[in-house]
Amino acid sequence: MIEKTEMAFSFEKIDDYYNRLLKEFEFSGEYGDLSLNAYMYLKNVHTLGTPSLSELARTMDVSKPSASAMVHKLANKGLLIINSSPGDKRVTLLSLTEKGLQIIKFQDFADARLYAKIKDILDDDDEFSLFVKLWQKIDANLEGGEDGK
| Euclidean distance between CA atoms 12 and 77, whole angstroms | 29
Predicted local confidence at residue 26, as pLDDT: 60
* Among 88, 85, 74, residue whose Cα is nearest residue 46: 74
**Residue range 130-147: average pLDDT?**
80
pLDDT digits (tens, 9 = 90+) for 89-132: 889 999 999 999 998 998 888 889 998 999 999 988 889 899 98
Hey, what domains does the chain have and what are their CATH numbers? 34-96 (1.10.10.10)
| Euclidean distance between CA atoms 52 and 92, whole angstroms | 5
Residue 7, pLDDT > 90, answer no
**Residue range 29-55: average pLDDT?**
88
Mean pLDDT check: name the lowest of 5-9, 22-26, 42-46, 112-116: 22-26
Predicted local confidence at residue 148, as pLDDT: 45
* Among 123, 126, 68, 66, residue whose Cα is nearest residue 92: 68
Beta bridge partners of 92: 84
